[in-house]
Structure 1
C-alpha cells in the first residue's frame, strides 16, 4: 500500500540511478525490490544505501548545472543569475568543489535534483573556457 500517496517513485543508491533494464522509476512501492535487484545485477553492488524520491512534474528542458567553488556558486554564463536555492546549497555544503543540478517544476518551483562531487560531472552547457574561469579567480 502506498501510504505516501505519491504518483511515482525514483529509486537510486547514494551514487547513481539505474539507467538500464527496468530503470529507476516505479509506480508502486512493491516494485522497489525489482529495481534494487537489477541495480545489484548491472552495477555489482548498492553504494551507500537506497534513496527514494517522489516523482514531480518537471520541465525537462529547464535543467541547468551550476558549479560551486570554495562556497561561491557559478552559472554557465557570466551574466546568468544563480538561483537562490543554489546559493543556499553553496552555503550549506562544506566541499570545496561540487556541481548542483536544478530543474523547474511545471508550477515554476526550482528543485535541486542532484548534487555531485564533480568527479563524474560533465560541463553540460558550459564552455571549457567558462569552466576554466572558475579556477582563475
Structure 2
C-alpha cells in the first residue's frame, strides 16, 4: 500500500504534489490510502488522521516531512488498523536525523559535531571540537542553505561571536521547526550540483538530480563504491543519499534522508519511482 497526504481542500483526493505517484501506484495494482498530514504534524487526533486507511498489510508513506515523534505516533496508529509501515519509527529517526546516520557514514561525509538543544555553552563546545576554519550550520534534519551567508555558512568557527550570530539567525528562521540541536559540519568545496540517489533495502535503485537543481545532471557517473557497504550496513528499508563531487575529485555524501519524505525531481517519472519501491529495481 502507498500512503500519501490528502488534499487539505478535497480530503478524498491526494495532495496535488503526490497525486502523480498515487496514480502510478494504482496503475501498478497497489492500494492507495490517504492521511491527514496536518493532523499528523500537529500530533493531534492521530487516529482520525489515518481513519480512511483500510485493510492490513505493509505500507510505504510518500509525503511531507514529519518529526520523529510524530512519525512514531503515525506508525502506532496504523498498526492499530492492521497496517505496518515498512519503515519503523526507530528507522525513520535514524535516517531523518543526522546523528542517526552520521557515525556509519563519517568517512564519506564532512566531519560533523552537534549539540543537544540550543545552549550557547554546548554550541561553543562543538566549535572547539571541530577547531578553526569554515563550517556549515544546520539542525538535525535541515539546513537553511537558501539563507547561506546569514544562517548557514560560518567563515571561521573559531570566531565565537560571529558563529553565534549565524546560529541565532538560524534559530529564528527555523522557529518551531527546529529539530534536536545545532550541527556544525566542516565546509568542503564541491564542483558539481548535488545528485540524489534512492536506495531500497541497501541497494541503489535510482540515480537522478537533486530536486533543487533538476536540470543539472552530473558530467560524470557517480562513484558509489565507497558508499554502498556503508548504506547497506545501516539496514534501512528506504532512504535517499545526496552526493556531490569535491574539488579533489572524490564523491562525498551531503545528506542521507528517509526516502518517504524525500522529494522526487520531476525528471524521474512517478511510475519509475513506484516500480523501484515495489520491485526493488527501476
Alignment TM-score, normalising by the size of structure 1: 0.81
Q: Could you say which residue in structure 1 is the equivalent of 2:170?
A: 39
Gaps (5+ residues) in structure 2?
A: 1-126, 209-220
1:19-38 Cα deviation digits (max 9, x unpaired): 33713011122222122212
Describe the SS at the equivalent of 1:36: helix
Q: 1:74 aligns with which of 205, 220, 230?
A: 205
Larger radius of gyration: 2
Rounded Cα–Cα distance in structure 2 between residues aligned with 1:5 and 1:38: 21
8 Å Cα contact 1:66/1:99 also seen in 2:
yes
Q: Give the number of the structure whose residues are more often helix, by fraction.
A: 2
Q: Does 1:26 align with 2:173?
A: no
Q: 2:188 aligns with which of 49, 53, 56?
A: 56
Rounded Cα–Cα distance in structure 2 between residues aligned with 1:94 and 1:101: 18
Q: Give the length in aligned residue pairs.
A: 133
Relative CO higher for 1 or 2, CA cutoff 8 Å, sep ≥ 6? Answer: 1
Describe the SS at the equivalent of 2:229: helix
Alpha-carbon shift at residue 51 of structure 1 (Å)? 1.4
Gaps (5+ residues) in structure 1?
A: none
Q: Give the number of the structure whose residues are more often strand, by fraction.
A: 1
Alignment TM-score, normalising by the size of structure 2: 0.42
Describe the SS at the equivalent of 2:259: coil
8 Å Cα contact 1:73/1:86 also seen in 2:
no
Q: 4+ residue stretches of structure 1 with deviation over 6 A?
A: none
